[in-house]
Structure 1
């Protein structure tokens, strides 16, 4: 899923590589709901259901990736409580400004650049507006995990998507301080690495927890890079980066 279109493809292992055939690509755009800009859940979930139909017909598994940071809230029964708010919503800037005094400490603990759309600020905005969402009985799920859960798979958190939240510590576990600063508790279970079957949908389709962050999937698909090589991923915006053994989280990288 992309921020301007959603598509699904059929992948087939041929020798040592995977051959993809794009089956459908459909544009979508956010909707205005009251004072907020929200995602069109019917469009996103509809595409996932059509992809599942293809998986059933082909006897295949289903994996879902998407852009980072955006999420939805599900209640005790697993139902979506409201449409996911779009990362471009102005309320996130307000939360970003309100927590400005914590930006440096957040960076040192997560290595994530300062952006008002990071999930930590989105959650701060939602919890300020709707305190009832900040409850042990309510779970927030990043979009790929949310779509899989709405198809019937168990809820959880995947590592590459968790890395976009600014709630993940440098050690790959939830950062307790970042949650404390927005008066929230970390999820009961930690982020899981990609590459395993998360469970089955309500229709019996095996759902694989792939690298859910679309940029991470694209970069890992490149294979290993040399010491003097970088990558440029072009999508809704362009991301230039390096593959490192450990994240950079010091004052010099923060200033850059």
Structure 2
């Protein structure tokens, strides 16, 4: 029986979870949940990394003695250390405007086709490569650490880069599974700041006495990109599945053995990110529940259950938006932006909050439908079932709309998928007999309740809505 602590940091909240694994058990208990988000300082959006570190330590102390600690978080963002190991500045938030227009300058030095042939990554304006091109402190940096690696460094004093998060930087060769010296040189990133790569499951060090935790506790490199950990906990019984890791972002895709680096995949903007046990997460980012979260913030309405209940009773397909339109990326007045988008596409804006919620969720379901169909075609991988994991798996209306839109049964759960994947990889590294992903997923299936949603409604209605949405946008 292994007792491990999972530090799981999402883009809107963080948590420390206590996991117990062994003898057919997979238990997860929340120890500490804390706020996470952007902090604007002199016009720049930052992460409050010291708040996250302190909250992590508070949770780990409350968890007591554990056999191991693992850390996962969102991708692409980083901290820069100087030659003495000190953090040069609070990490900048990927939604900050410093990367506006930067992609074009980078692509003048290295083409989209060449970038994709090496990294297999979706073009997003906030990818690490573009952040580094806008980085004012790059010349002072001795080491770059992704967020989970930075927090692990403060725990152990050991610097490194876990592969699943490294694979999101657009500086990682997805076939060679190494940093790309060619790309680093072409875009002006000093190769020396890129740390040694680690595998999920490597013990990276032990806790330092200065942390006031139990010194000597192993810190394990898990799938440190939270989606990589989430996919470990997809309760699939065979390979004919797709997944949506649903939260602030929605990651919609397939699990493959090899990357797909074709022109078709590049033109459709699919990404090939590293997964646990050498798998590839072939997926596309969809904006996710961020738009709804920002609407609730502007409305000052935290009654999500009531909003969803009212939205379920509003007319279908009254208003549709492209959730991946660039105006929805940054924080701000999302209801007003929805209205503006509707007017720009010849639609009357939603007349109520319920109608706006329905608009967001139906538009997300249509984006999922489009993405999933393209993924199956490009990867030549048929799908029998769609797993929705993460916080969005609790959104019953969205899950049903997703089943309807995609024409597939949806299995919703587990909610804390990233923490579960974190725990499972740790337990295996520490000696628990979980030889492969199949064994881990079987344990999730046997210990967690899933909710099934069968497709309803008329497929022709969704066909018409998809044609209307993407024709108009």
Could you tell me the TM-score, scaled by structure 1's length? Answer: 0.91
**Contact map agreement 2:79 2:87 (CA 8 A) in 1:** yes
Residue of structure 1 aligned with 2:159, choices 155, 160, 163: 155
Shift, 1:72, TM fit: 0.4
- 2:67 corresponds to 1:60: yes
**Contact map agreement 2:178 2:197 (CA 8 A) in 1:** yes
What per-residue deviation string (whole Å, max 9, x for no partner) do you get for residues 4-60 of structure 1? 1011100111324531111121122211122321101122111221133135x2233
What per-residue deviation string (whole Å, max 9, x for no partner) do you get for residues 86-132 of structure 1? 01111123321211333221111110000111111111110xx3352
Query: Which residue matches 1:119?
Result: 128
Query: Which residue matches 2:107?
Result: 100
CA distance in 2, matches of 1:99, 1:5: 32
- 2:87 corresponds to 1:80: yes
Correspondence 1:161-176 to 2 at 5 A = 161-170=165-174, 171-176=176-181
Query: Which residue matches 2:254?
Result: 242
Residue of structure 1 aligned with 2:147, choices 143, 148, 157: 143
Could you tell me the TM-score, scaled by structure 2's length? Answer: 0.50
- Unaligned runs of 5+ residues in structure 2 are 1-8, 210-214, 269-473
CA distance in 1, matches of 2:152, 2:202: 14
**Contact map agreement 2:132 2:138 (CA 8 A) in 1:** no
What per-residue deviation string (whole Å, max 9, x for no partner) do you get for residues 60-103 of structure 1? 32111000000001122222111000011111233212113332
- 2:194 corresponds to 1:186: no
Moved more, 238-247 or 86-95: 86-95
- 2:43 corresponds to 1:35: yes
1:179 partner SS: helix
**Contact map agreement 1:31 1:39 (CA 8 A) in 2:** yes
CA distance in 2, matches of 1:179, 1:13: 41
Distance change (3 Å), C-alpha of 1:201 and 1:111: same
Report which structure shows greater RCO (CA 8 Å, sep ≥6).
1
1:240 partner SS: strand
CA distance in 2, matches of 1:169, 1:106: 9
**4+ residue runs over 6 A deviation:** none
2:241 partner SS: coil
CA distance in 1, matches of 2:161, 2:252: 25
CA distance in 2, matches of 1:17, 1:79: 41
Aligned length: 250
Structure (1/2) with the larger helix percentage: 2
CA distance in 2, matches of 1:217, 1:17: 19
Q: CA RMSD in A?
A: 1.8
1:243 partner SS: strand
